[in-house]
A and B are shown apart, each in its own frame.
Chain A
Amino acid sequence: MTYLINGQIESICVEYQRDRHRLLDIIRSVQQKFGYISDEAIDEIARCCSIPRVEVDSTISFYGYLSKQPRGRITIRLCNDIIDRLQGMERVAAAFREVLGIDFGRTTADGNFSLEYAPCIGMCDQGPAALVNDVVVTKLTGDGAREMIRDLREHMDPHRLVRTLGDGNNAHELISAMVNNNIRQRGEVIFSEFHPGEALRKALSMSPVEVIKEIKTSRLRGRGGAGFPTGMKWEFTRGAAGPNKYVICNADEGEPGTFKDRVLLTECPEMVFEGMAIAGYAIGAEQGIVYLRGEYAYLNNYLEQVLQKLRKQGMLGARFCSTKHCFNFDIRIQMGAGAYICGEETALISSCEGLRGDPKNRPPFPAQKGYLENPTCVNNVETLCCVVRILEKGAAWFSQLGTTDSPGTKLLSISGDCRRPGVYELPFGVKLSEVLKLAGADNAAAVQVGGASGQMVGSADFHKPISYEGLATGGSIMVFGPHRNVLEIAHYFLEFFIDESCGYCTPCRVGNTLLLERLEQIIEGRGEPADLDYLQQLGQSIKALSRCGLGQTSPNPVLSTLKNFKPVYEQLVKVNPQGFRSSFDINRALEEASRITERRSVIYE
């Protein structure tokens, strides 16, 4: 038996040339085949790839979707992120618990079902949502959940849960998902008529340096969150020494409340791949990688088919020539495995290299030393789409859209307490209040702009523009009505960061836990005014001392609610006149000893 299993594992390793840099793919395939990665399987993978066993082990332990314990034949991952909570996720969770007779984090005795929670799976405009193995189910209800389990018990085939197909390519036979695009507003840049191949041909009629100059002239800035000028990044990568350069498309889309890249990958993958090819031509790379978040595995087959089609058309995988220049470029898809930190570009590179998704020290920056130590350019999905349109229609056309510092349009993923959640393409500079009006968020009291790592703003800031210089966002806009508690939302986001921190640096690993502890005391009414200064100071220290963007933004939910919703905090805290800490409860602290000794306190009773 072991012999047989080992044979199968060996052939998986051989499929990936026993390359330790494809370890994540190897582990994923083993899990796909056997449901989990056993100790024996770890031994065998280590042997086949000639690496220490602990490397395999630690890689598995890093990723949320990899498991060393047997899991059910069907794993249900229910999104318990903040937006789904507002949409009734608790009722769905209760229904699952009831019909399966297990709690979350458990597997049924018959080995058929495992229940897990997952942070935002990118379906916020159609939640509550869950992944059933790779199949997405949306708009869940308690009854829906019960019915789903009844059906699954009959056929054990998650694909048969999809009865109504979604709009657009979601209905394509290789996707067959019930997901909807919900494109509510089409703008000039992304969602306008597209002629595949035109931009690439135009690029090839120019020299790589001219292409970079065109992107610089357009003043395009990265759409993934940080807003770094794309042309400059390309120039650095082109100028860095190294024979094999890489273009990586960041399709990790892990920021809670963001789902616009999913829609781009569903509706315009040709545009994304063409953008990658243009980037490759500009920086001098022949290879590209799309890092696709594990949650979007249902798009994988379709994307592979589009890649095949482009190869057949000669645009990828072979010499592609215009009248002036020829070049060679191909793309592979790297599947992620459930880790928010892997959206951070250096962690993403680690993950592509088959390692734990730990961020790397910078410098060297990826442009100097990225994937396998080669100069690497990492760009967001939407950035690459903008590139295509800039080449097609010209830098001058692009830069007159939006504002001076934020040219072009932005895709916004809007969810929460609004009537029309979905994807909106709007020019930069649009006021938040206008965005809210479009989305039917008449009652908005608080808006989280930029996801968990962004900021919570109140109505005093609704007049501000969406832009890098105003309210910055990688796309996430989460709307909260007046009946929502902003401190509980901040509390949830902190928990999210604590879960997703890679744990390398103390300020991020320990600091956020301390922030959460103090925030909880305040929420429970045991806080003091001085605690607000404590939150502020600790939050600033975490931002200043953390190594990567996760830690540097993790205190934002607390800091921005402290800034914009101070009265909510102030109402909850009060001075303890004796100078005792209200958060310390002597009776609670003595309970255990009382139980063990079977006597009561003589001092405090």
Chain B
Amino acid sequence: MAKPRVATTSLAGCFGCHMSILDIDDRILKLVELVDFDKSPIDDFKTFTGRCAVGLIEGGCCNEENVHVLQDFRQHCDILISLGDCATMGGIPALRNTIPLRECLEEAYLHGPSVYNPSGRIPNDPEIPLLLNKVYPCHEVVKIDYHLPGCPPSADTIWETLVALLSDKPVQLPYELIKYD
């Protein structure tokens, strides 16, 4: 029987959640016995090659490309998991949500104290995806099946969750894994 496929992506995140996936250390060898990776920065597949059992999403949506990728994940994955606080709540990028978009861009490219930008222009190449009016957590854009909180969720949390899902058992996360203060 073919191994179930897992896809991962980083949207408006810092890659910290992906680092945490790698933190499962040598268990990654066990993981590749259990699953095949599909679209993911881990194997650098840029597009989906087939139907996936699980999709792990890091980061919320801050631009149109994020939305596009997330919708693509929804269409290819049976189960979608919001991985980490950025995916579940918007996280640090969502700090801009109370500030008008134009002000954010001006601060970032024109007026910020550390900005060096002799052209005095805000980058506007057609290649650059358009920003959304605010940063959205993933579940406001597509249906999300599970949320794993934490910044980032620990490797053990991710491991326990994946193993439980792939072996069709209830997830049991001990208190220490979901306690954050």
Chain B nearest Cβ from A589, distance in angstroms:
4
A581 adjacent to B141 (CB under 8 Å): yes
A601 adjacent to B140 (CB under 8 Å): no
Chain B CB within 8 A of A4 CB: no
Chain A CB within 8 A of B143 CB: yes
B101: which A residues are within 8 A, CB to CB? Answer: 592-593, 596
Interface string of A578-605 (1 = CB under 8 A from B): 1111011010111111101111011110
Q: A586-B64, A596-B102, A603-B68 are in contact. Are A581 and B133 (CB under 8 A)?
A: no
B141 adjacent to A594 (CB under 8 Å): no
Chain B nearest Cβ from A599, distance in angstroms:
6
A584 adjacent to B136 (CB under 8 Å): yes
* Chain A residue nearest to B132 in the complex (CB): A589
Chain A CB within 8 A of B130 CB: yes
5 interchain residue pairs of minimum CB distance: A593-B130, A589-B132, A579-B143, A579-B74, A593-B131
A601 adjacent to B130 (CB under 8 Å): yes
A604 adjacent to B141 (CB under 8 Å): no
A579: which B residues are within 8 A, CB to CB? Answer: 74-75, 142-143
The residues of B with any CB-CB pair to A shorter than 8 Å are 64-65, 67-68, 71, 74-75, 100-102, 105, 124, 126, 129-134, 136, 139-143
B75 adjacent to A604 (CB under 8 Å): no
Chain A nearest Cβ from B57, distance in angstroms:
13
B71 adjacent to A580 (CB under 8 Å): yes
B133 adjacent to A604 (CB under 8 Å): no
Contact of B130 among A576, A578, A581, A590 (CB under 8 A): A590
Assembly CA distance A603 to B72 (angstroms)? 12
B140 adjacent to A584 (CB under 8 Å): yes
Question: Which of A576, A589, A590, A604: most chain B Cβ within 10 A?
Answer: A589
Chain A nearest Cβ from B59, distance in angstroms:
16
A593: which B residues are within 8 A, CB to CB? Answer: 101, 130-133
B64 adjacent to A591 (CB under 8 Å): no
Number of A interface residues in the complex (CB < 8 A): 24
Assembly CA distance A588 to B140 (angstroms)? 14
Instruction: State the total of A-B contacts with C-beta under 8 angstroms.
Output: 66
Contact of A589 among B74, B75, B100, B133 (CB under 8 A): B133
Assembly CA distance A330 to B124 (angstroms)? 75
B139 adjacent to A590 (CB under 8 Å): no
Contact of A599 among B74, B124, B136, B142 (CB under 8 A): B124
A596: which B residues are within 8 A, CB to CB? Answer: 101-102, 105
Q: A592-B133, A594-B130, A597-B130 are in contact. Are A580 and B140 (CB under 8 A)?
A: no
* Chain A residue nearest to B134 in the complex (CB): A589
Assembly CA distance A113 to B24 (angstroms)? 68
A598: which B residues are within 8 A, CB to CB? Answer: 124
B64: which A residues are within 8 A, CB to CB? Answer: 586, 590, 601, 603-604
* Chain B residue nearest to A589 in the complex (CB): B132
Chain B nearest Cβ from A536, distance in angstroms:
17
A599 adjacent to B130 (CB under 8 Å): yes
Q: A593-B101, A601-B64 are in contact. Are A581 and B143 (CB under 8 A)?
A: yes
Contact of A597 among B71, B124, B134, B143 (CB under 8 A): B124
Assembly CA distance A477 to B58 (angstroms)? 50
Q: A586-B67, A594-B130, A599-B126 are in contact. Are A580 and B136 (CB under 8 A)?
A: no
A578 adjacent to B133 (CB under 8 Å): no
Q: A596-B101, A604-B64 are in contact. Are A589 and B142 (CB under 8 A)?
A: no
* Chain B residue nearest to A594 in the complex (CB): B130
Assembly CA distance A586 to B124 (angstroms)? 20
B67: which A residues are within 8 A, CB to CB? Answer: 584, 586, 589
B102: which A residues are within 8 A, CB to CB? Answer: 592, 596
A592: which B residues are within 8 A, CB to CB? Answer: 100-102, 133
A581: which B residues are within 8 A, CB to CB? Answer: 139-143
B65 adjacent to A578 (CB under 8 Å): no
Contact of A578 among B75, B129, B132, B136 (CB under 8 A): B75
* Chain B residue nearest to A604 in the complex (CB): B64
Assembly CA distance A598 to B139 (angstroms)? 29
B100: which A residues are within 8 A, CB to CB? Answer: 592
* Chain A residue nearest to B101 in the complex (CB): A592
Assembly CA distance A599 to B124 (angstroms)? 9
Assembly CA distance A604 to B64 (angstroms)? 8
Assembly CA distance A62 to B57 (angstroms)? 43
Chain A nearest Cβ from B7, distance in angstroms:
15
Assembly CA distance A583 to B137 (angstroms)? 13
A586: which B residues are within 8 A, CB to CB? Answer: 64, 67
Question: Which of B75, B134, B143: most chain A Cβ within 10 A?
Answer: B143
B74 adjacent to A578 (CB under 8 Å): yes
Q: Considering the complex, which residues of chain A in the window 255-312 have a beta carbon less than 8 Å from any beta carbon of chain B?
A: none
A580 adjacent to B142 (CB under 8 Å): yes
Chain B nearest Cβ from A594, distance in angstroms:
6
Contact of A591 among B74, B126, B129, B133 (CB under 8 A): B133
Sample 12 A-B pairs with CB under 8 A, ordered by A number.
Answer: A579-B142, A579-B143, A580-B74, A580-B141, A586-B64, A589-B132, A592-B101, A596-B101, A596-B102, A596-B105, A603-B68, A603-B129
B130: which A residues are within 8 A, CB to CB? Answer: 590, 593-594, 597, 599, 601
